[in-house]
Structure 1
């Protein structure tokens, strides 16, 4: 019987047959997926009609490449199709949205891999074949039927002249186009099954050539040895008759050894080879899986030689149902925070639909800070074929994304709750990423802040061995705060040595307060965004606004006295250094250093200034950065330091400066030089850079020369 394709099928087949799409390989995924669906249907039917399994109890998919006749055959033991179903399923389209898809195909704006979304994945066979034959046997009919088409206009259905060769199921034969010859290669077929259908729940067998090598007697060498031995025997008989000695014993031994000669022979035979041996372990109950099984799967699936450190295996239920496995690797991939994702970047999350691999091109599925994770998603509620553009707009996938992020946060929390050492190790490897998450992802910030740890001056001072944990969370810090303490003290810098030796922490540590040391470049950004924790302000100890909370009346009185006493020096320094500082204050944070340079409450710290400078050199600076850069600092002086006392005496002795005088500096040129050298030294000790190092070096040399004279 000959039939005409309906108009939409006709249009689509014409476009597919002449397709120039590069993703032609998806045809095998589509046909295997259809075969899997057919097997699922017969399995469901067998629940109430067990007799349908009698003809073919096996549930499987088999693939044969016939290179001689350029045929590719995909056979399944599924439900098969009746004659009427062959006509309806393979000749008409009853799914909405197909017309729009065909229109996009015509305009070259459609992703060909979407084809299965419209229930017409079968037609992807025409991407690689110019003729397709489908033999099918349904258990409700006695006859086996054949559907075939070599034209974009029509197809025909007939009784299979071979009879009932299938028992049950379908057999699709693709007569491949010359340019599709690669799909006759066993290695290519195996690669595609592994890539797209590795976790199909039914076994997929590939008709494979097997080579075996074995040893067998080397008949030629043995025949040669026998011939030569016969010659030696004849010579021996002649010599014996002539009463001569036989001198051929060594040659005889070699020939007798040659009688045992063997050769390696390689024979080739064909056999069915199971391709999808890795079963989808995410479909199992986590309680039924061992750690070794998880590790083996992780190494195989991600081609990793290292173990993962933690795994979350869970099922998402509700509006969208899915199964997922998330792995925390032993360490993050190199440069994962600096690489910009593109279409060629594989996502750390692989998407499956009904155990069929769909894509690992889920760009921006995970936020940047979480891209060190590895995992997979498998959902029955997503269409089998979705384009990258469709994925970005999928509400179902957005729901899954929120669940995945939430589960990852739970995983980090569980790791941190195991103890300080585990939490510290998590921060060592993934701390920068977690801080970036707290900075960029406001929805995740509260949970991440509970996990993030910083080095503690108190814990570091109390450590008795290198194994002792010296980091703490903000919650841990708050739990140890002194009575009356108003702020959480922290200091940012480049290295641990720099922050520990900073003049800013001197008096704070001496007074028994805890300081958090922050040496990760992202820390400055984080504390600018997260300024308060549990009702306490985060206070940079190198910024204006520092309050201890335990100041006595006597200390407050002493501060006022010092402000009055040191007013001449403060006015002198304010005038001399007016290009750099906005004010001079009596310091309550210094004990050993004479001076310190402090940023105002809204200014940049030294470490942040260096970051901004690096960005400017890279061409990434903006107007705000320039504004912050030119904000004047506060110079704090230590009233108890002998250098400051001496400078006060010299400042008091200065004659009054004439009003309106354009002359820079004071009458005491030596004092001016000392003040400038001390200012630049204070800037360096406070973590700031100096604009003109050569000028500073010259000033220092002049001071030394004066002292030597």
Structure 2
């Protein structure tokens, strides 16, 4: 660095590290939001206060006369000036030169090259502490007046950011008693940053919870207002926080008016230290099913807001609102580049485990509250059953279901397994687009007749997680619309109607399969029907019927394997047709095939494959009946 004195009191120095290139990168490559300059200046001021607070433990004289620490932001809209002042540790002449004149102390070229590559900049920025220079995004000129605590000298650092800076001694009466004052001469077009509304908005958004009170003053007005009181609710011991404080903070952080259903407040210590204050809403946020599936947890580092886009919680916990405050992460410029940070990943795993544990406790100890949580967010939590198989056991513990036997009550899988019928070896489920559609399905008749409980799954994600889940408590999941019903081992109800003979039903099935050709993959007797004559089910190794529909919609209508047509051997219509099949009435059976297949499709919520042929067959049958 080249140095020379232009007068006995003014020193002019050249920046190190190609400052013009760096400042260009700061403005155009690192920050996308100019508001962040104020966050950086307040963060630096808070750090200075915290440093003095720490040093004064050993040297009380350093903070003599101070009742506490504070940061004061003073705006002069008419003069286009903004000042950020603190009463922290302050800087000496050499520290001003070293901290503000030397941007990168080593590896300058690599540092700048890394900044030019946005994806690598995040790893480099925090190593050099260049946040102060964000001030040049909004200021034509920056002046820093500082007096180190315990010193009888004060100095000013001043620059327009174009290659040089000046160091000048300052009379003590014009300097802070201790600490630093950063004075910004705002550039043309940046006047808004000297307006009260703008300053308040930025402070409340980014710095409301730094550990030092923030005050605001306007030139020409005597009033000094407090914008932040220097306390962070999440940093308090849980025992000292009130319900009202939680409620107010939830309203602010979640931008919601409902009461939180669950509040999670704790501090983690160990390999990583961080504080957590999370809320589970009692009502669905408006953006719950936004395709982006972004979380809404704010990340702070030592009480300074960093971002609300860090992937702390997985997408299937995106309904949680709140704050995570890390003590380990660097307080640097790469706020928007934290997604792949290993510390964030470790924190995310820890917070996810804790939140699932708290949900489980609520489910066990406060069933009514948890029922509301599940009703609002169960469809989202079930995404985790598909996306996070390693979390499946935790999610199965808190999953709740409507079933065919429980009415309006929610049932857990543990409840279901506890009430298994004798010889029942599977957990039965029915997929459908609505609860009403599932309950109207003929596929449930045989299960209902035997008193078997069936899970009612109506969320789109159900069609996917249930296929990848191996089972629960050693019991596999089995669809009531897929494969053989496998109900023979479970006792039939007393008084069940007599069935047609097996040989007769087999003959009927063979004729129907011949008549329907490729429209079905098989025709067989059914154990799942009780009152309906027929139904369609998926083949043993095919997709469940609803899953097939969902996939077909995405793939342009392509359907998979043809379904199986099942016959109810105890139904009068099937008995009559079976008698025809073995009594020389094959033609009548073939004519009935299109009606039976169409009826099965209608019961499945679909139109007959050939509506015109089906309608003609119905008309012919009606004419025959009318004589």
Contact 2:122 2:333 (C-alpha < 8 Å) held by counterparts:
no
Q: Hey, what does 1:326 align to over in structure 2?
A: 278
Inter-partner Cα distance in structure 2 for 1:98 and 1:324: 37
Q: Hey, what does 1:515 align to over in structure 2?
A: 454
Note closer, same or farther for the CA distance 1:185–1:7 as it changes in structure 2 (3 Å cut).
Answer: same
Q: Hey, what does 1:441 align to over in structure 2?
A: 388
Contact 2:214 2:230 (C-alpha < 8 Å) held by counterparts:
no
Contact 1:134 1:147 (C-alpha < 8 Å) held by counterparts:
yes
Answer yes or no: is 1:52 the counterpart of 2:4: no
Deviation at 1:116, TM superposition (A): 5.9
Q: Hey, what does 1:348 align to over in structure 2?
A: 296
Q: 2:569 aligns with which of 639, 646, 650?
A: 639
Q: Hey, what does 1:10 align to over in structure 2?
A: 19
Deviation at 1:540, TM superposition (A): 1.7
Deviation at 1:645, TM superposition (A): 2.0
SS in 1 for 2:133: helix
CA displacement 1:416-443 (0-9 Å, x = unmatched): 1124433432221111111111111112
Note closer, same or farther for the CA distance 1:606–1:123 as it changes in structure 2 (3 Å cut).
Answer: closer
Q: Hey, what does 2:177 align to over in structure 1?
A: 167
Q: Hey, what does 2:84 align to over in structure 1?
A: 74
CA RMSD of aligned residues (A): 3.0
Note closer, same or farther for the CA distance 1:448–1:654 as it changes in structure 2 (3 Å cut).
Answer: same
Inter-partner Cα distance in structure 2 for 1:193 and 1:116: 22
CA displacement 1:301-340 (0-9 Å, x = unmatched): 3332222111111222232211111111122223533422
Contact 2:499 2:569 (C-alpha < 8 Å) held by counterparts:
no
Deviation at 1:106, TM superposition (A): 5.6
Q: 1:566-605, aligned counterparts within 5 Å? A: 566-605=505-544
Q: 2:437 aligns with which of 498, 516, 534?
A: 498
Contact 2:483 2:538 (C-alpha < 8 Å) held by counterparts:
yes
Contact 1:597 1:683 (C-alpha < 8 Å) held by counterparts:
yes
Deviation at 1:150, TM superposition (A): 4.0
Inter-partner Cα distance in structure 1 for 2:461 and 2:454: 18
Q: 1:360 aligns with which of 305, 308, 316?
A: 308
Q: Hey, what does 1:674 align to over in structure 2?
A: 592
Contact 1:487 1:548 (C-alpha < 8 Å) held by counterparts:
no
Q: Give the unaligned 5+ runs of structure 2.
A: 1-9
Inter-partner Cα distance in structure 1 for 2:474 and 2:285: 37
Equivalent pairs counted in the alignment come to 614
Deviation at 1:389, TM superposition (A): 6.4
Answer yes or no: is 1:696 the counterpart of 2:614: yes
Inter-partner Cα distance in structure 2 for 1:92 and 1:102: 14
Q: Give the unaligned 5+ runs of structure 1.
A: 210-267, 461-468, 656-665
Note closer, same or farther for the CA distance 1:96–1:414 as it changes in structure 2 (3 Å cut).
Answer: farther
Deviation at 1:117, TM superposition (A): 5.3
CA displacement 1:19-64 (0-9 Å, x = unmatched): 6965333221111111111111211121122122224444111122
Deviation at 1:589, TM superposition (A): 2.5
Deviation at 1:278, TM superposition (A): 7.5
Answer yes or no: is 1:418 the counterpart of 2:365: yes
Q: Hey, what does 1:300 align to over in structure 2?
A: 252
Note closer, same or farther for the CA distance 1:114–1:701 as it changes in structure 2 (3 Å cut).
Answer: farther
Contact 1:194 1:275 (C-alpha < 8 Å) held by counterparts:
yes
SS in 2 for 1:352: strand
Q: Hey, what does 2:7 align to over in structure 1?
A: none
Q: Hey, what does 2:319 align to over in structure 1?
A: 372
Q: Hey, what does 1:405 align to over in structure 2?
A: 352
Contact 2:261 2:373 (C-alpha < 8 Å) held by counterparts:
no
Inter-partner Cα distance in structure 2 for 1:111 and 1:101: 8
SS in 1 for 2:145: strand
Deviation at 1:298, TM superposition (A): 0.8
Deviation at 1:455, TM superposition (A): 1.9
Q: 1:285 aligns with which of 230, 237, 262?
A: 237
Larger Rg: 1
Q: 2:603 aligns with which of 685, 691, 706?
A: 685
Note closer, same or farther for the CA distance 1:510–1:486 as it changes in structure 2 (3 Å cut).
Answer: same
Q: 2:582 aligns with which of 629, 652, 670?
A: 652
Inter-partner Cα distance in structure 1 for 2:365 and 2:27: 60
Note closer, same or farther for the CA distance 1:434–1:67 as it changes in structure 2 (3 Å cut).
Answer: closer
SS in 2 for 1:597: strand
Contact 1:310 1:329 (C-alpha < 8 Å) held by counterparts:
yes
Q: Hey, what does 1:89 align to over in structure 2?
A: 99
Moved more, 100-109 or 424-433: 100-109
Deviation at 1:649, TM superposition (A): 2.3
Q: Hey, what does 1:31 align to over in structure 2?
A: 41
CA displacement 1:484-531 (0-9 Å, x = unmatched): 222222222233333223322223222232222223333222221224
Deviation at 1:3, TM superposition (A): 4.1
Deviation at 1:114, TM superposition (A): 8.2
SS in 2 for 1:152: coil
Contact 1:144 1:163 (C-alpha < 8 Å) held by counterparts:
no
Q: 1:56-455, aligned counterparts within 5 Å? A: 56-93=66-103, 95-96=105-106, 99-105=109-115, 118-150=128-160, 152-161=162-171, 163=173, 165-208=175-218, 269-277=221-229, 279-340=231-292, 347-362=295-310, 364-387=311-334, 390-455=337-402
SS in 2 for 1:566: helix
Inter-partner Cα distance in structure 2 for 1:415 and 1:528: 28
Deviation at 1:8, TM superposition (A): 0.7
